[in-house]
Amino acid sequence: MKPRFLVLTILAFIFLFPATDLIGQDKKQDKKLNYGNTIDVQVPYGRFQKADKNFFDDLQPFTGAGREKVPPTDLTEVRIGLLGPLEGSVLSPQGIQMLQGATLAMEEANEKGGYRGIPYKIFPHNDVGLWGAAANEVVKMNDEKVWAFIGTIDDINTHVALRVALKLELPMVNTGDPDPTLTETRIPWMIRCIADDRQSSYALVNYIYHVKKHSRIAVLRANNRYGRVGIMEFRDAALRYGYPLVLEIRYNDGETSFTTQIERMIKSSPDAVVLWGNAKETALILLQLRKMGMKQPVYGCDRLMSPVFLEIAGEEAEGVITTCQYNPTLDMPNLVAFNKNYEKRFGYEPDVFAAHAYDGMNIIIDAIDLAGLNRALMRDVMTDLKTLQGYQGITGEIIFDASWNDIGVIWMTEVRNGKFEFFPPPPFEQENLTGSIAAKKP
């Protein structure tokens, strides 16, 4: 019996050990989250090739000097910068909201005694002006001895500011630019507390192709960096689901007639339309495409979710579906208080830029409280993915990934009875090729 027992034992080892090892590996793989909350079927080149290097699996440390610097003892105010489109830009209404949201957070902090009795003070800077103004303005903020800054909304200005922030080693919190590439620069001096267009695109693509079962999408987008980079993730995600866009055309900011573009859209026979741009132009496009006979459902980016869009589009706005980086109607005590206090302080409702700037300023204030007045130490607590991870802001729970991008929950909205109604995006479909690419496969 002994030899048989030995044989059986060895055979059991042969079969059990590799199997358990593999099971273990599978479990490990299940736990791994792809960069940017990307589902497996959406990983770039994932169907064909494993990348030589995934850049955002690990945190980029800051190994420079500065942590040893002693805080000044003669301060009369703690200065925080704000860079935004405050005047002279089509984005100025949003810039003003951003400034007001940050101001409210600062005023509330000062009511509680500021930083160890020293009041906070905001130093606003306009990012609109001479070419590359954002770079010059960040230098000015540094000369003013700010401890950190919030900024900005426009993609180009934010990138330019970020580059200078690295040189100056100045902590930066972005609260208004959803450009996915902004945090893909490995600069360990910035966090972003607003969901980016990658998250918006994934939610929209899933909703459009899987929930609504559309297959032929035409895109009309702004001919600027916001439109180009914003739609990039949408286009890629649609393609990876198996639905290449049937058309992607552009318009320039400030245009009022979109006949040429709409005629081309009609010829492409889409079963739905996606608009990616600012509220004013997209509302005008909506009116004109309905006038020209296009009755297809319309989807759009978060910038459509604006009173300006509702006002211009009127009844035609009904049924338009967009994404939004937060839900202002949630019954959270901190959000309810913010909405009430903001309206009382500034006379009108806050928008998405005000809400995120409020959270961004509070994050800076918390970082100062925790680390003291030392830029490098403030940076450390802002970026360690521990201290402020899961921050409970008025915009919801903020979850940072290893590139310090906010990959927390985003929302979707639909215009119903002249109002934006919010709903959570349906769970992502891991479904494989479903569209035209799959249909062509043998």
Partner 1 sequence: MKKVITKISLRITILAIVILAGSFLGFKLVKKPLTSEEYPKTDQRISDKYSQGSLEESSNREGITKDTKPMPLYGNWQTFTKKNGLPADKAYCVRIDGDRVLVGTSAGLAVYENDKWRTYTVEDGLAHPGVLSIDVSELTGDVWIGTLGGLNRWSAGRFETFNQFNSGLANDVIYTVICDGKDVWVATGGGAGSYDTYTGQWGIYTERNAPMHEPWTYGVCAGGGKIFIAAWGGGVIEYTTKTQLFRDYIDPDGEMEIDLFTDDGVIHDITTGVTYADDILWVATYFGLSRYDGTRWKGYLDHDTGLISNFINFLKANGPVVWLCTDMGLCSFDGETWVTYQKKENSMEGKILITNGDDTKEIASSTSIAHEFVIGVDTQDDVIWISTSKGVSRGELLK
Question: Least distance from C-beta 336 to partner 1, angstroms?
Answer: 37
Q: Does 64 bind partner 1 (CB under 8 A)?
A: yes
- Looking up tokens 């939610």 gives 203
Q: Does 178 bind partner 1 (CB under 8 A)?
A: no
Q: Which of 327, 275, 325, 270 is nearest to 300 (CA)?
A: 275
Q: Is 15 exposed, middle or buried (0-12, 13-18, 19+ CB in 10 A)?
A: exposed
Which of 116, 167, 264, 419 binds partner 1 (CB under 8 A)? It is 167
Which tokens go with 263? 């005629």
CA atoms in the 13 A half-sphere facing the CB of 14:
6
End-to-end CA distance of the chain: 55
Q: Which of 63/417 has CB closer to partner 1?
A: 63
Residue 338 identity (one-letter amino acid)? F
Q: Which of 73/131 has CB closer to partner 1?
A: 131
Return the range that interacts with partner 1 (CB under 8 A); candidates 59-67, 216-224, 250-258, 420-428: 59-67
Q: Residue 222 has what DSSP assignment?
A: E
Question: Least distance from C-beta 228 to partner 1, angstroms?
Answer: 9
Q: Does 225 bind partner 1 (CB under 8 A)?
A: yes
Which of 19, 51, 211, 292 binds partner 1 (CB under 8 A)? It is 51
Q: Does 348 bind partner 1 (CB under 8 A)?
A: no
Q: Does 52 bind partner 1 (CB under 8 A)?
A: yes
Return the range that interacts with partner 1 (CB under 8 A); candidates 4-12, 241-249, 356-364, 386-394: 4-12
Q: Does 145 bind partner 1 (CB under 8 A)?
A: no
Q: Does 160 bind partner 1 (CB under 8 A)?
A: yes
Question: Least distance from C-beta 133 to partner 1, angstroms?
Answer: 9
Crossing angle for the helix pair 352-371 and 333-346, nearest 10 degrees?
110
| Rounded distance between C-alpha atoms, residue 82 and residue 125, angstroms | 6
| Rounded distance between C-alpha atoms, residue 25 and residue 19, angstroms | 10
Q: Does 235 bind partner 1 (CB under 8 A)?
A: no
Return the range that interacts with partner 1 (CB under 8 A); candidates 63-71, 250-258, 291-299, 357-365: 63-71
Q: Which of 29/430 has CB closer to partner 1?
A: 29
Q: Residue 210 has what DSSP assignment?
A: I
Q: Does 53 bind partner 1 (CB under 8 A)?
A: yes
Q: x/- binding map, residues 9-38, to partner 1, per CB under 8 A?
A: -xx-xx---x--x----------x--xx--
| Rounded distance between C-alpha atoms, residue 284 and residue 291, angstroms | 11
Which of 27, 131, 254, 417 binds partner 1 (CB under 8 A)? It is 131
Return the range that interacts with partner 1 (CB under 8 A); candidates 90-98, 105-113, 164-172, 201-209: 164-172
Which of 102, 105, 109, 187 binds partner 1 (CB under 8 A)? It is 187
Question: Least distance from C-beta 164 to partner 1, angstroms?
Answer: 6
Question: Least distance from C-beta 46 to partner 1, angstroms?
Answer: 10
Residue 61 identity (one-letter amino acid)? P
| Rounded distance between C-alpha atoms, residue 218 and residue 156, angstroms | 26
Q: Does 186 bind partner 1 (CB under 8 A)?
A: yes
Strands (E), 307-403: 321-324, 391-393, 396-398
Q: What's the chain's Rg over C-alpha atoms?
A: 25
Backbone angles phi, psi at 220, to 5 degrees: -120, 120
Instruction: For residue 35, list its beta bridge partners.
Output: none
Crossing angle for the helix pair 225-241 and 155-168, nearest 10 degrees?
100
CB 148 within 8 A of CB 109: no
Q: Is 413 exposed, middle or buried (0-12, 13-18, 19+ CB in 10 A)?
A: buried
Q: Does 70 bind partner 1 (CB under 8 A)?
A: no
Q: Which of 121/225 has CB closer to partner 1?
A: 225
Q: Does 62 bind partner 1 (CB under 8 A)?
A: yes
Apex 318 CA angle, 211 and 241, nearest 5 = 25
Q: x/- binding map, residues 248-277, to partner 1, per CB under 8 A?
A: ------------------------------
Which tokens go with 124? 């606003």
Q: Does 164 bind partner 1 (CB under 8 A)?
A: yes
* Site of interaction with partner 1 (CB under 8 A): 3-4, 6-7, 10-11, 13-14, 18, 21, 32, 35-36, 44-45, 49, 51-58, 60-66, 130-132, 134-136, 139, 142, 156, 159-160, 163-164, 167-168, 180-181, 184-187, 225
